Amino acid sequence: MLELTGIDRTYDDGHPVSALRKANLTLTEGEYVTVTGPSGSGKSTLLNVIGLLDRPDGGSYRVCGVETAGLGERVRVGIRGQLFGFVFQAFHLLAGRSTVENVELGMLYGRHARRTRRRLAVAALDRVGLGHRRHADPRTLSGGERQRVAIARAVAGRPRVLLCDEPTGNLDSATTATVLALLRELNTAGLTVVVVTHDERVAAEGDRGLRVVDGTVTEVVR
């Protein structure tokens, strides 16, 4: 489904930093992949390139057979909205809005009408076991619950790939377990899951392991 070939990404603010160097990666629909590697090795950049949040400077990135290199920003935003959901270490929930409103906001730029968005948001909260907290302010939720709301927001619009950058980085081990159980459940239901993590336990959850070192991707042999 996703095929990166010879991907380069160099940041340049003053002096050039090569974040990805000739990175190659093929992801098949339905996989559960975890990505590890030293800090600064290019993991987040890889995730951002995969999710069309960032543009590589070189190489080929095909999404469902379509080469994305030459696509304009509007088309990229459209593909991103349909295909990808994002979960980050910081939950990025808005205080003063209910959880269901937070989940709806994730679909604001998608293809769904307002009424459909509410229905999908409620269904997503049910899916993460927080339907009963739909009117709660995120400030009244625990860290694990907040991340589950963030996951509901990421999957409510029915993406095919969930991209998670250190999703358990702010959680203790008990709540990490609930988030991992949820990711596994979503994967079993067909969602492709990619998780960047420092945590060996989280890394071991994936069916396939990748390691990024100096901007290059290698398979972890298990």
Binding site for ligand ADP (CB under 6 A): 11, 13, 17, 19, 37, 39-45
Return the number of the residue (102 or 197) whose C-beta is nearest ligand ADP.
197
- Tell me the C-alpha to C-alpha distance, in Å, between residue 55 and each of 69, 71, 77, 114, 165: 8, 10, 12, 31, 18
Return the number of the residue (41 or 175) whose C-beta is nearest ligand ADP.
41
Least distance from ligand ADP to the Cβ atom of residue 190, Å: 27
Least distance from ligand ADP to the Cβ atom of residue 103, Å: 26
Least distance from ligand ADP to the Cβ atom of residue 49, Å: 9
Least distance from ligand ADP to the Cβ atom of residue 149, Å: 24
Return the number of the residue (130 or 163) whose C-beta is nearest ligand ADP.
163
CA distance from start to end of the chain: 23
* Contact residues for 88 (Cβ-Cβ < 8 A; gap 6+): 150, 164, 165, 166, 167
* Contact residues for 14 (Cβ-Cβ < 8 A; gap 6+): none
Return the number of the residue (13 or 73) whose C-beta is nearest ligand ADP.
13
Say how many C-beta atoms besides its own lie within 10 A of residue 12's C-beta. 9
CB 196 within 8 A of CB 44: yes
Least distance from ligand ADP to the Cβ atom of residue 208, Å: 18
Q: DSSP letter string over 175-216?
A: HHHHHHHHHHHHHHTT-EEEEE-S-HHHHHHSSEEEEEETTE
Return the number of the residue (17 or 105) whose C-beta is nearest ligand ADP.
17
Least distance from ligand ADP to the Cβ atom of residue 213, Å: 9
Return the number of the residue (9 or 127) whose C-beta is nearest ligand ADP.
9
Q: DSSP letter string over 84-105?
A: EEEEESS--PPTTS-HHHHHHH
